[in-house]
Structure 1
Amino acid sequence: MMTLYSGTTCPYSQRCRIVLFEKGMDFQVIDVDMTNKPEDLAVINPYNRVPVLVERDLVLYEANIINEYIDERFPHPQLMPADPVMRARARLFLHNFEDQLFDHIADIESDNAKVADNARAIVRDNLTQIAPIFNKQEYMLGDEFSMLDVAIAPLLWRLGHYGIELPKQAAPLLKYAERIFSRPAYIEAMTPSEKAMRK
Protein backbone atom coordinates (compact mmCIF):
# COMPACT_ATOMS: atom_id res chain seq x y z
CA MET A 1 0.00 0.00 0.00
CA MET A 2 1.16 3.53 -0.77
CA THR A 3 1.66 5.90 2.14
CA LEU A 4 1.58 9.66 1.64
CA TYR A 5 3.05 11.99 4.23
CA SER A 6 0.91 15.03 3.68
CA GLY A 7 0.81 18.52 5.15
CA THR A 8 -2.71 19.41 6.29
CA THR A 9 -2.50 22.88 4.72
CA CYS A 10 0.23 22.24 2.12
CA PRO A 11 -0.93 22.96 -1.47
CA TYR A 12 1.62 20.48 -2.88
CA SER A 13 0.35 17.71 -0.59
CA GLN A 14 -3.19 18.53 -1.65
CA ARG A 15 -2.22 17.87 -5.28
CA CYS A 16 -1.09 14.36 -4.36
CA ARG A 17 -4.20 13.67 -2.30
CA ILE A 18 -6.40 14.72 -5.23
CA VAL A 19 -4.61 12.27 -7.57
CA LEU A 20 -4.88 9.40 -5.08
CA PHE A 21 -8.62 9.98 -4.64
CA GLU A 22 -9.17 10.42 -8.41
CA LYS A 23 -7.58 6.99 -8.90
CA GLY A 24 -9.82 5.42 -6.24
CA MET A 25 -7.07 3.14 -4.95
CA ASP A 26 -5.94 1.85 -1.55
CA PHE A 27 -3.56 4.21 0.19
CA GLN A 28 -2.79 5.67 3.58
CA VAL A 29 -2.40 9.38 4.32
CA ILE A 30 -0.31 10.43 7.31
CA ASP A 31 -1.21 13.99 8.26
CA VAL A 32 1.86 16.06 9.11
CA ASP A 33 1.63 19.13 11.32
CA MET A 34 4.06 21.52 9.63
CA THR A 35 4.87 23.23 12.94
CA ASN A 36 5.68 19.92 14.64
CA LYS A 37 7.07 17.53 12.02
CA PRO A 38 7.63 13.87 12.95
CA GLU A 39 11.27 12.85 13.25
CA ASP A 40 10.98 10.12 10.62
CA LEU A 41 10.15 12.73 7.94
CA ALA A 42 13.73 14.03 7.95
CA VAL A 43 14.95 10.43 7.65
CA ILE A 44 12.91 9.61 4.53
CA ASN A 45 13.22 13.05 2.88
CA PRO A 46 16.55 14.89 3.22
CA TYR A 47 14.72 18.21 2.68
CA ASN A 48 12.37 17.45 5.61
CA ARG A 49 9.37 18.58 3.53
CA VAL A 50 6.05 17.15 2.46
CA PRO A 51 4.61 15.56 0.41
CA VAL A 52 6.51 12.28 0.54
CA LEU A 53 5.24 9.05 -1.02
CA VAL A 54 6.47 5.73 0.33
CA GLU A 55 5.78 2.41 -1.40
CA ARG A 56 7.87 -0.55 -0.25
CA ASP A 57 11.51 0.49 -0.96
CA LEU A 58 10.53 3.51 -3.07
CA VAL A 59 10.56 6.98 -1.50
CA LEU A 60 9.53 9.95 -3.65
CA TYR A 61 9.26 13.64 -2.90
CA GLU A 62 8.22 16.64 -5.04
CA ALA A 63 4.49 16.66 -5.86
CA ASN A 64 4.75 16.54 -9.66
CA ILE A 65 7.14 13.55 -9.57
CA ILE A 66 4.90 11.72 -7.07
CA ASN A 67 1.82 12.38 -9.20
CA GLU A 68 3.41 11.21 -12.45
CA TYR A 69 4.51 8.00 -10.72
CA ILE A 70 0.99 7.37 -9.39
CA ASP A 71 -0.46 8.09 -12.84
CA GLU A 72 1.87 5.61 -14.54
CA ARG A 73 1.44 2.98 -11.84
CA PHE A 74 -2.38 3.24 -11.86
CA PRO A 75 -3.28 4.42 -15.37
CA HIS A 76 -7.07 4.67 -14.91
CA PRO A 77 -8.24 7.35 -15.17
CA GLN A 78 -5.20 8.66 -17.03
CA LEU A 79 -4.28 12.19 -15.93
CA MET A 80 -1.21 12.80 -18.11
CA PRO A 81 -1.78 12.76 -21.89
CA ALA A 82 -0.97 9.48 -23.65
CA ASP A 83 0.51 11.26 -26.68
CA PRO A 84 4.25 12.08 -26.14
CA VAL A 85 3.95 15.57 -27.68
CA MET A 86 0.95 16.48 -25.50
CA ARG A 87 2.68 14.94 -22.47
CA ALA A 88 5.76 17.10 -23.07
CA ARG A 89 3.51 20.18 -23.38
CA ALA A 90 1.75 19.23 -20.15
CA ARG A 91 5.11 18.96 -18.35
CA LEU A 92 6.05 22.41 -19.67
CA PHE A 93 2.77 23.80 -18.33
CA LEU A 94 3.47 22.18 -14.95
CA HIS A 95 6.94 23.73 -14.90
CA ASN A 96 5.46 27.15 -15.75
CA PHE A 97 2.87 26.80 -12.96
CA GLU A 98 5.72 26.39 -10.47
CA ASP A 99 7.71 29.28 -11.92
CA GLN A 100 4.88 31.78 -12.46
CA LEU A 101 2.48 30.88 -9.65
CA PHE A 102 3.55 28.50 -6.88
CA ASP A 103 7.09 29.85 -6.40
CA HIS A 104 5.47 33.08 -5.17
CA ILE A 105 3.49 31.42 -2.35
CA ALA A 106 6.38 31.68 0.13
CA ASP A 107 6.53 35.44 -0.55
CA ILE A 108 2.74 35.78 -0.14
CA GLU A 109 3.09 34.13 3.29
CA SER A 110 6.02 36.42 4.16
CA ASP A 111 5.86 38.89 7.07
CA ASN A 112 7.16 41.61 4.74
CA ALA A 113 3.98 43.36 3.47
CA LYS A 114 5.68 44.84 0.41
CA VAL A 115 7.10 41.47 -0.68
CA ALA A 116 3.71 39.79 -0.08
CA ASP A 117 1.76 42.42 -2.02
CA ASN A 118 4.17 42.20 -4.95
CA ALA A 119 3.84 38.39 -5.03
CA ARG A 120 0.03 38.64 -4.90
CA ALA A 121 0.06 41.00 -7.88
CA ILE A 122 2.28 38.63 -9.90
CA VAL A 123 0.03 35.63 -9.19
CA ARG A 124 -3.13 37.67 -9.88
CA ASP A 125 -1.79 38.89 -13.24
CA ASN A 126 -0.55 35.45 -14.31
CA LEU A 127 -3.90 33.84 -13.45
CA THR A 128 -5.81 36.58 -15.26
CA GLN A 129 -3.74 35.90 -18.40
CA ILE A 130 -4.85 32.25 -18.59
CA ALA A 131 -8.54 32.98 -17.84
CA PRO A 132 -9.65 33.41 -21.50
CA ILE A 133 -8.88 29.78 -22.41
CA PHE A 134 -11.87 28.73 -20.29
CA ASN A 135 -14.24 30.57 -22.60
CA LYS A 136 -13.52 27.81 -25.10
CA GLN A 137 -12.86 24.69 -23.01
CA GLU A 138 -13.85 22.96 -19.79
CA TYR A 139 -10.37 22.14 -18.48
CA MET A 140 -6.73 23.12 -19.02
CA LEU A 141 -6.13 20.63 -21.85
CA GLY A 142 -9.62 20.68 -23.36
CA ASP A 143 -12.61 18.60 -22.29
CA GLU A 144 -10.72 16.10 -20.12
CA PHE A 145 -9.69 16.62 -16.49
CA SER A 146 -5.89 16.26 -16.31
CA MET A 147 -2.81 16.66 -14.13
CA LEU A 148 -2.74 20.38 -15.00
CA ASP A 149 -6.12 20.86 -13.33
CA VAL A 150 -4.86 18.92 -10.31
CA ALA A 151 -1.75 21.12 -10.13
CA ILE A 152 -3.49 24.50 -10.18
CA ALA A 153 -6.55 23.60 -8.06
CA PRO A 154 -4.93 24.10 -4.60
CA LEU A 155 -3.90 27.64 -5.52
CA LEU A 156 -7.37 28.52 -6.82
CA TRP A 157 -8.88 27.17 -3.60
CA ARG A 158 -6.59 29.43 -1.53
CA LEU A 159 -7.10 32.72 -3.43
CA GLY A 160 -9.14 34.30 -0.61
CA HIS A 161 -6.83 32.83 2.03
CA TYR A 162 -3.84 34.42 0.26
CA GLY A 163 -5.65 37.74 -0.20
CA ILE A 164 -5.63 37.52 -4.02
CA GLU A 165 -8.54 39.27 -5.71
CA LEU A 166 -9.02 38.53 -9.39
CA PRO A 167 -10.45 41.16 -11.77
CA LYS A 168 -13.77 40.74 -13.63
CA GLN A 169 -12.05 39.46 -16.76
CA ALA A 170 -10.93 36.40 -14.76
CA ALA A 171 -14.57 35.24 -14.33
CA PRO A 172 -14.09 32.22 -16.70
CA LEU A 173 -11.21 31.04 -14.47
CA LEU A 174 -13.39 31.23 -11.35
CA LYS A 175 -16.17 29.23 -13.07
CA TYR A 176 -13.55 26.66 -14.06
CA ALA A 177 -12.36 26.53 -10.43
CA GLU A 178 -15.90 25.74 -9.24
CA ARG A 179 -16.05 22.82 -11.71
CA ILE A 180 -12.92 21.35 -10.13
CA PHE A 181 -14.09 22.01 -6.56
CA SER A 182 -17.33 20.10 -7.20
CA ARG A 183 -15.53 16.89 -8.23
CA PRO A 184 -16.09 14.13 -5.63
CA ALA A 185 -12.38 13.26 -5.47
CA TYR A 186 -11.49 16.90 -4.85
CA ILE A 187 -13.95 17.13 -1.97
CA GLU A 188 -12.77 13.82 -0.45
CA ALA A 189 -9.11 14.84 -0.68
CA MET A 190 -9.51 17.99 1.41
CA THR A 191 -8.42 18.21 5.04
CA PRO A 192 -10.58 20.04 7.65
CA SER A 193 -7.94 22.81 7.70
CA GLU A 194 -8.25 23.27 3.93
CA LYS A 195 -12.04 23.35 4.09
CA ALA A 196 -11.77 26.14 6.69
CA MET A 197 -9.76 28.28 4.24
CA ARG A 198 -12.95 29.12 2.33
CA LYS A 199 -15.95 30.24 4.32
Structure 2
Amino acid sequence: MASSLRMRHALTLFSAVDDVLCHRVRLVLAAKGVTYDLIAVDPQDPPEDLIDLNPYHSVPTLVERDLVLYAATVVCEYIDERYPHPPLMPIDPLSRARLRLAMLRLEHDWVPQIQAIQFGSKQQADAGRKRLRELLTASVPLFKASKFFLSAEMSLADCAIAPIIWRLQALDVPLPKDGKAIEDYGNRIFRNPGFARSLTPQERNLRELPA
Protein backbone atom coordinates (compact mmCIF):
# COMPACT_ATOMS: atom_id res chain seq x y z
CA MET A 1 0.00 0.00 0.00
CA ALA A 2 1.20 3.48 -0.81
CA SER A 3 2.96 4.93 2.20
CA SER A 4 1.50 8.40 1.68
CA LEU A 5 -2.05 7.16 2.31
CA ARG A 6 -3.32 8.34 5.70
CA MET A 7 -6.54 6.82 7.03
CA ARG A 8 -8.65 7.94 9.98
CA HIS A 9 -11.18 5.14 9.56
CA ALA A 10 -10.98 1.46 8.67
CA LEU A 11 -12.20 2.14 5.13
CA THR A 12 -10.96 4.54 2.49
CA LEU A 13 -12.87 5.15 -0.71
CA PHE A 14 -11.32 6.69 -3.80
CA SER A 15 -14.25 8.28 -5.59
CA ALA A 16 -15.03 10.72 -8.37
CA VAL A 17 -17.20 13.62 -7.22
CA ASP A 18 -19.92 13.07 -9.84
CA ASP A 19 -20.09 9.51 -11.10
CA VAL A 20 -22.95 7.00 -10.99
CA LEU A 21 -20.73 4.04 -10.13
CA CYS A 22 -18.94 5.85 -7.30
CA HIS A 23 -22.26 7.21 -6.07
CA ARG A 24 -23.56 3.64 -6.01
CA VAL A 25 -20.81 2.62 -3.58
CA ARG A 26 -21.29 5.70 -1.42
CA LEU A 27 -25.01 4.94 -1.20
CA VAL A 28 -24.30 1.39 -0.01
CA LEU A 29 -21.92 2.72 2.63
CA ALA A 30 -24.53 5.28 3.74
CA ALA A 31 -27.25 2.62 3.91
CA LYS A 32 -24.99 0.58 6.20
CA GLY A 33 -24.06 3.59 8.33
CA VAL A 34 -20.36 2.94 7.77
CA THR A 35 -17.85 5.73 8.33
CA TYR A 36 -14.99 6.00 5.89
CA ASP A 37 -12.40 8.36 4.47
CA LEU A 38 -13.36 9.79 1.10
CA ILE A 39 -10.58 10.73 -1.30
CA ALA A 40 -11.93 12.76 -4.20
CA VAL A 41 -10.31 11.74 -7.46
CA ASP A 42 -10.18 13.20 -10.95
CA PRO A 43 -10.38 9.99 -13.03
CA GLN A 44 -8.37 11.68 -15.77
CA ASP A 45 -5.55 12.48 -13.35
CA PRO A 46 -5.47 9.73 -10.69
CA PRO A 47 -3.29 10.34 -7.64
CA GLU A 48 -0.14 8.32 -7.01
CA ASP A 49 -1.79 6.37 -4.18
CA LEU A 50 -4.52 5.11 -6.49
CA ILE A 51 -2.01 4.25 -9.23
CA ASP A 52 -0.05 2.18 -6.71
CA LEU A 53 -3.15 0.42 -5.34
CA ASN A 54 -5.23 -0.33 -8.41
CA PRO A 55 -3.71 -1.59 -11.69
CA TYR A 56 -6.58 0.00 -13.62
CA HIS A 57 -6.30 3.35 -11.76
CA SER A 58 -10.11 3.35 -11.70
CA VAL A 59 -12.76 4.57 -9.30
CA PRO A 60 -14.44 3.49 -7.17
CA THR A 61 -11.60 1.83 -5.28
CA LEU A 62 -12.07 0.70 -1.69
CA VAL A 63 -9.20 0.13 0.73
CA GLU A 64 -9.51 -1.72 4.04
CA ARG A 65 -6.11 -2.23 5.61
CA ASP A 66 -4.28 -4.53 3.15
CA LEU A 67 -7.39 -5.29 1.11
CA VAL A 68 -7.90 -3.29 -2.09
CA LEU A 69 -11.11 -3.72 -4.10
CA TYR A 70 -12.23 -2.06 -7.32
CA ALA A 71 -15.21 -2.28 -9.70
CA ALA A 72 -18.50 -1.10 -8.22
CA THR A 73 -20.16 -4.51 -8.21
CA VAL A 74 -17.29 -6.16 -6.32
CA VAL A 75 -17.04 -3.30 -3.84
CA CYS A 76 -20.79 -3.15 -3.15
CA GLU A 77 -21.16 -6.88 -2.58
CA TYR A 78 -18.17 -6.87 -0.25
CA ILE A 79 -19.62 -4.02 1.82
CA ASP A 80 -22.96 -5.80 2.05
CA GLU A 81 -21.30 -8.98 3.33
CA ARG A 82 -18.73 -7.22 5.52
CA TYR A 83 -21.43 -5.12 7.24
CA PRO A 84 -24.48 -7.40 7.20
CA HIS A 85 -27.01 -5.05 8.81
CA PRO A 86 -29.23 -3.97 7.24
CA PRO A 87 -28.97 -6.65 4.53
CA LEU A 88 -29.17 -5.30 0.99
CA MET A 89 -29.72 -8.61 -0.77
CA PRO A 90 -32.55 -11.11 -0.31
CA ILE A 91 -31.90 -14.49 1.28
CA ASP A 92 -33.16 -16.81 -1.43
CA PRO A 93 -30.86 -17.62 -4.39
CA LEU A 94 -33.49 -16.93 -7.07
CA SER A 95 -34.17 -13.38 -5.88
CA ARG A 96 -30.46 -12.70 -5.48
CA ALA A 97 -29.80 -13.90 -9.02
CA ARG A 98 -32.58 -11.69 -10.40
CA LEU A 99 -31.17 -8.64 -8.67
CA ARG A 100 -27.62 -9.42 -9.81
CA LEU A 101 -28.84 -9.72 -13.39
CA ALA A 102 -30.70 -6.42 -13.09
CA MET A 103 -27.55 -4.70 -11.79
CA LEU A 104 -25.53 -6.19 -14.63
CA ARG A 105 -27.97 -4.77 -17.16
CA LEU A 106 -27.87 -1.37 -15.47
CA GLU A 107 -24.10 -1.33 -15.66
CA HIS A 108 -23.92 -2.56 -19.26
CA ASP A 109 -26.97 -0.79 -20.76
CA TRP A 110 -27.76 2.30 -18.66
CA VAL A 111 -24.42 3.58 -17.36
CA PRO A 112 -22.80 3.87 -20.84
CA GLN A 113 -25.65 6.18 -21.90
CA ILE A 114 -24.94 8.48 -18.96
CA GLN A 115 -21.24 8.48 -19.76
CA ALA A 116 -22.02 9.32 -23.41
CA ILE A 117 -24.18 12.26 -22.29
CA GLN A 118 -21.57 13.54 -19.85
CA PHE A 119 -18.40 13.00 -21.87
CA GLY A 120 -19.32 12.28 -25.49
CA SER A 121 -19.79 14.45 -28.54
CA LYS A 122 -23.13 16.15 -29.15
CA GLN A 123 -24.16 13.30 -31.41
CA GLN A 124 -23.19 10.71 -28.81
CA ALA A 125 -24.95 12.66 -26.06
CA ASP A 126 -28.17 12.94 -28.08
CA ALA A 127 -28.06 9.23 -28.83
CA GLY A 128 -27.43 8.49 -25.15
CA ARG A 129 -30.46 10.58 -24.09
CA LYS A 130 -32.67 8.81 -26.61
CA ARG A 131 -31.52 5.36 -25.54
CA LEU A 132 -31.76 6.15 -21.83
CA ARG A 133 -35.34 7.36 -22.26
CA GLU A 134 -36.16 4.14 -24.12
CA LEU A 135 -34.72 2.12 -21.24
CA LEU A 136 -36.75 4.11 -18.73
CA THR A 137 -39.95 3.62 -20.73
CA ALA A 138 -39.39 -0.13 -20.96
CA SER A 139 -38.76 -0.30 -17.21
CA VAL A 140 -41.90 1.51 -16.04
CA PRO A 141 -43.71 -1.78 -15.21
CA LEU A 142 -40.83 -2.78 -12.93
CA PHE A 143 -41.14 0.47 -10.97
CA LYS A 144 -44.88 -0.09 -10.64
CA ALA A 145 -44.54 -3.69 -9.48
CA SER A 146 -43.02 -3.14 -6.02
CA LYS A 147 -41.99 -0.47 -3.55
CA PHE A 148 -38.33 -0.84 -4.44
CA PHE A 149 -36.66 -2.12 -7.60
CA LEU A 150 -37.70 -5.77 -8.02
CA SER A 151 -38.07 -6.05 -4.25
CA ALA A 152 -40.22 -5.05 -1.31
CA GLU A 153 -37.07 -3.99 0.57
CA MET A 154 -34.22 -1.71 -0.42
CA SER A 155 -31.39 -3.65 -2.06
CA LEU A 156 -28.09 -3.22 -3.85
CA ALA A 157 -30.13 -2.80 -7.05
CA ASP A 158 -31.68 0.37 -5.64
CA CYS A 159 -28.22 1.65 -4.78
CA ALA A 160 -27.33 1.13 -8.44
CA ILE A 161 -30.37 2.71 -10.03
CA ALA A 162 -31.11 5.60 -7.64
CA PRO A 163 -27.96 7.54 -8.68
CA ILE A 164 -29.16 7.26 -12.29
CA ILE A 165 -32.64 8.59 -11.46
CA TRP A 166 -31.07 11.40 -9.42
CA ARG A 167 -29.17 12.61 -12.50
CA LEU A 168 -31.96 12.56 -15.07
CA GLN A 169 -32.87 16.24 -14.72
CA ALA A 170 -29.25 17.37 -14.94
CA LEU A 171 -28.72 15.12 -17.97
CA ASP A 172 -31.80 16.62 -19.68
CA VAL A 173 -33.51 13.24 -19.89
CA PRO A 174 -37.27 13.63 -19.31
CA LEU A 175 -39.31 10.84 -17.79
CA PRO A 176 -41.72 9.04 -20.13
CA LYS A 177 -45.36 10.11 -20.13
CA ASP A 178 -46.33 7.30 -17.79
CA GLY A 179 -43.22 7.77 -15.66
CA LYS A 180 -44.87 8.86 -12.41
CA ALA A 181 -43.97 5.50 -10.90
CA ILE A 182 -40.31 6.30 -11.56
CA GLU A 183 -40.66 9.75 -10.02
CA ASP A 184 -42.41 8.32 -6.94
CA TYR A 185 -39.76 5.63 -6.63
CA GLY A 186 -36.97 8.19 -6.81
CA ASN A 187 -38.56 10.39 -4.18
CA ARG A 188 -38.89 7.43 -1.78
CA ILE A 189 -35.16 6.84 -2.06
CA PHE A 190 -34.17 10.51 -2.04
CA ARG A 191 -36.09 11.21 1.18
CA ASN A 192 -34.00 8.62 3.00
CA PRO A 193 -31.37 10.42 5.13
CA GLY A 194 -28.81 7.90 3.90
CA PHE A 195 -29.24 9.14 0.35
CA ALA A 196 -28.42 12.70 1.37
CA ARG A 197 -25.30 11.41 3.16
CA SER A 198 -24.20 9.64 -0.02
CA LEU A 199 -24.06 12.85 -2.07
CA THR A 200 -20.95 14.86 -2.75
CA PRO A 201 -21.45 18.65 -2.85
CA GLN A 202 -21.29 18.46 -6.65
CA GLU A 203 -24.00 15.81 -6.79
CA ARG A 204 -26.18 17.66 -4.30
CA ASN A 205 -26.24 20.59 -6.72
CA LEU A 206 -27.69 18.47 -9.54
CA ARG A 207 -31.23 18.86 -8.19
CA GLU A 208 -33.18 19.53 -5.01
CA LEU A 209 -33.88 16.86 -2.45
CA PRO A 210 -37.64 16.31 -2.03
CA ALA A 211 -39.25 17.72 1.08
TM-score, scaled relative to structure 2: 0.89
Q: Deviations over 1:83-127 (max 9, x none)?
A: 112111111111111122012222212442122111111111101
Amino acid at match of 1:170: G
Give the superposition deviation at 1:35: 5.2
Task: Please say if residues 11 and 154 of structure 1, whose CA atoms lie closer than 8 Å, have aligned partners that are also in contact.
Answer: yes
Give the direction of change, closer, same or farther, for the CA distance of 1:110–1:16 in structure 2 (3 Å limit): closer
Give % identity: 42
SS at match of 1:60: strand
1:43 positional shift: 1.3
Corresponding residue number in structure 1 for 2:30: 21
Query: Which position in structure 2 is the counterpart of 1:121?
Result: 130
Displacement after TM superposition at 1:36 (Å): 4.3
Matches within 5 A, 1:131-150: 131-150=140-159
Q: Greater shift after overlay, 101-110 or 139-148?
A: 101-110
Cα distance, 1:6 vs structure 2: 1.2
- Give the structure 1 partner of residue 5 of structure 2: none
Counterpart amino acid of residue 69 in structure 1: Y
Deviation at 1:178, TM superposition (A): 0.8
**C-alpha contact 2:14 2:62 (8 A) present in aligned 1:** yes
Deviations 1:21-66 (A, max 9, x none): 1111232222223454322111111221211000111111111110
Letter in 2 for 1:52: T
Structure 2 CA distance, aligned partners of 1:15 and 1:135?
A: 22
- Which residues in structure 2 correspond to 1:77-156 (within 5 Å)? 77-156=86-165
Question: Unaligned 5+ residue runs, structure 1?
Answer: none
- Contact (CA 8 Å) 1:132, 1:170: kept in 2 or not? no
The counterpart of 1:76, out of the listed 85, 90, 96, is 85
The amino acid that maps onto 2:177 is K
Counterpart check, 1:51 vs 2:68: no
Change (3 A) 1:118 1:55: same
Calculate the aligned-residue CA RMSD, in Å.
Answer: 1.5
Q: TM-score, normalised by structure 1?
A: 0.94
Which residue number corresponds to residue 71 of structure 2? 62
Secondary structure of 1:197 counterpart? coil
